[in-house]
Amino acid sequence: MLSTLIVDDEPVARRILRDELEQIDDIALVGEAEDGVSALTAIHELSPDLVFLDLQMPGLGGFDVIRRLRPDGSRPMIVIVTAWDQYAIQAFEAGAIDYLLKPIGQERLVQTVDRALKLRPRAAEAARQSAATEIAEAPARRSVRRIVAKSGDEYLLLNADEVLAFEAEGDLVWVITAKKRYLATQSLKAIQLKLRNTNFRRIHRRALVNIDHVRKMSTLSSQRWLLTLANDQEFIVSKRQAHNVRQLLSW
């Protein structure tokens, strides 16, 4: 998954791009920024792999943001998104991996994501080395992640092994345990990103399940599965995520 940040001063433009990116399985949206200053803050705090960056913004513009990024391995891949075609050469000279003209078609957006995936090994080398070191030095802490859940006015800290699944329902995300479900405090894609390299698998754009709690797998068709969890709750696996289920059969 490519952790992705959207930067644009127009709310409608951000929403349109967000809706398009949410249809691409390789993208995990981790945040949005409405200007250059908040973009730099978000990049520092979220460390995204990929940033879709508007050029024309009040205050700090897109090129101003790029110039203020550190030129080391922690710098994200930048995709310029603009309504103006005359800045393409300048964008590539600044280090952007692609230049998209509004409005952006889905096919063109997929091409950009594919390019980012191919470039990611070089762009994220420093981040991967840092993650590898952290895992090596703190395996116990990594294996017992805590999940923040909300019940009424209370916030609960759940162990990851207590959670059977996460399920999106409109703007809400539910944390499902054996006997109860709670409200999550983050989006499903943000949760998936934080739980990468754990036993949680995306089986649908609205569902993330803990494979340790899968009790039964039934075929609905050649590319559709029905998963039954330990609490007897059932989930249908989408065609796009079928490979995650097939992997379970080989374990």
Tokens of 39: 């973009």
Residues 121 and 7 reside in one and the same domain: yes
Confidence of residue 191 (pLDDT cuts 50, 70, 90): confident
Selection from 13, 106, 108, 4 nearest residue 56 by Cα: 13
Is residue 213 domain-shared with residue 236, that is, in the same domain? Answer: yes
pLDDT band at 246 (very low <50, low <70, confident <90, very high): low
Among 65, 100, 132, the domain boundary falls at 132
Is residue 223, in this structure, part of any structural domain at all?
A: yes
- Say whether both 99 and 183 belong to one domain: no
**Model confidence band, residue 127 (pLDDT cutoffs 50, 70, 90):** very low
Do 197 and 92 sit in the same domain of this protein? Answer: no
Q: Is the whole model's pTM more than 0.75, yes or no?
A: no
Compute the distance between CA of residue 233 and CA of residue 44 in angstroms, rounded to an integer. Answer: 39
Question: What CATH number did the domain enclosing 117 receive?
Answer: 3.40.50.2300
Co-location of 86 and 113 in the same domain? yes
pLDDT at 169 over 70: yes
Identify the weakest region by mean pLDDT among 87-101, 179-193, 219-233: 219-233
Which of 112, 111, 77 is CA-nearest to residue 96? 77
Tell me the pLDDT band of 120, cut-offs 50, 70 and 90. Answer: confident
Same domain, 24 and 95: yes
pLDDT value at residue 125: 46
Number of domains, the chain:
2
pLDDT over 90 at 130, yes or no? no
CATH value at residue 204: 2.40.50.1020
Tokens of 26: 């390789």
What is each CA distance from 147 to 159, 161, 192, 207, 249, in whole angstroms? Answer: 6, 10, 12, 16, 27
User: Are residue 128 and residue 8 in the same domain, yes or no?
Assistant: yes
Asked if 156 and 150 count as a contact pair (C-beta separation under 8 A), the reply is yes
Q: How far apart are CA 230 and CA 172, in angstroms?
A: 23
Contacts of 235 (CB under 8 A, 6+ apart): 165, 167, 203, 204, 207, 209, 226, 227, 229
**Domain end call among 100, 132, 164:** 132
45 pLDDT above the threshold of 80: yes
65, part of any domain: yes
Report how far residue 175's alpha carbon sits from residue 147's, in angstroms, rounded to the nearest whole number: 9
pLDDT grade, residue 25 (50/70/90)? confident
Name the token pair of 196: 């990468």
- 122 shares its domain with 244: no
When pLDDT is averaged across residues 81-99 and rounded to a whole number, the result is: 90
Segment of 12-16, 138-142, 247-251 carrying the highest mean pLDDT: 12-16
Q: What is the pLDDT of residue 245?
A: 63
Instruction: Report, as an integer, the average pLDDT of 122-129.
Output: 44
Domain endpoint, select from 73, 102, 132: 132
Q: Are residues 159 and 108 in the same domain?
A: no
Residue 137: CB atoms within 10 Å? 9
Confidence band, pLDDT 50/70/90 cuts, at residue 132: very low
Q: By the 8 A CB rule, do 150 and 183 touch? A: yes
pLDDT at 144: 45
The answer to whether residues 165 and 127 belong to one domain is no
Residue 137 lies in a domain: no
Higher pLDDT, 7 or 179: 7
Do 109 and 229 share a domain, yes or no? no
Cα separations (Å) of 50 from 26, 142, 164? 11, 24, 30
Task: Supply 189's token pair.
Answer: 């894609």
Mean pLDDT of the residues in the chain? 83
pLDDT for 124: 44
Residue 80 within any structural domain of the chain = yes
As to burial, measured by CB atoms within 10 angstroms (0-12 exposed, 13-18 middle, 19+ buried), residue 8 is: buried
Give yes or no for a cis peptide into 71 (omega within 30° of 0).
no
Average pLDDT over residues 27-38: 94
**What local confidence, expressed as pLDDT, does residue 73 receive?**
60
Residue 184 belongs to what domain range?
Answer: 142-248
